[in-house]
Amino acid sequence: MTKRKIIIIDDNADQRFVLKGLLTDIGCDVIGEGKSGLDALELMQKFFPDIILMDVKMPGMDGIEAVTAINQLRPTPIILLTGKKDEETIRRAIEAGVMAYLVKPIREEDLLPTIELAISRFNEFQSVLKENMDLKGTIEARKVVEKAKGLLMEKEGLTEKEAFSRIQKISMDRRRPMKEIAEILITALEGKK
What is the per-residue pLDDT across 100-158, written as a single tens digit (0 to 9) for each? Answer: 989 888 999 999 999 999 999 999 999 999 999 999 999 999 999 999 999 999 999 99
CA-based nearest residue to 78, from 62, 95, 97, 91: 97
DSSP 13: H
Find residue 103's DSSP bridge partners.
Answer: 82
Give the integer Cα–Cα distance in Å for 114 and 131.
26
CB atoms within 10 A of CB 9: 26
pLDDT of 181 strictly over 70: yes
- Helix, strand, coil: what percent of the chain each, to 5? 65, 15, 25
Task: Give the pLDDT band of residue 2 (cuts 50, 70, 90).
Answer: confident
Provide the phi-psi class of 157: left if phi over 0, else alpha when psi is between -120 and 50, else beta.
Answer: left
Give the integer Cα–Cα distance in Å for 158 and 147.
14
**Angle, CA of 114, 118 and 119, to the nearest 5°:** 120
pLDDT of 85 strictly over 80: no
The whole-number pLDDT of residue 193 equals 59
Provide the phi-psi class of 118: left if phi over 0, else alpha when psi is between -120 and 50, else beta.
Answer: alpha
Give the integer Cα–Cα distance in Å for 32 and 119.
18
CB atoms within 10 A of CB 53: 29
pTM recorded for the entire structure: 0.75
Q: Which domains does the chain have, with CATH numbers?
A: 5-106 (3.40.50.2300), 132-191 (1.10.10.10)
CB atoms within 10 A of CB 160: 12
Q: What's the first-to-final CA gap in the chain, in angstroms?
A: 65
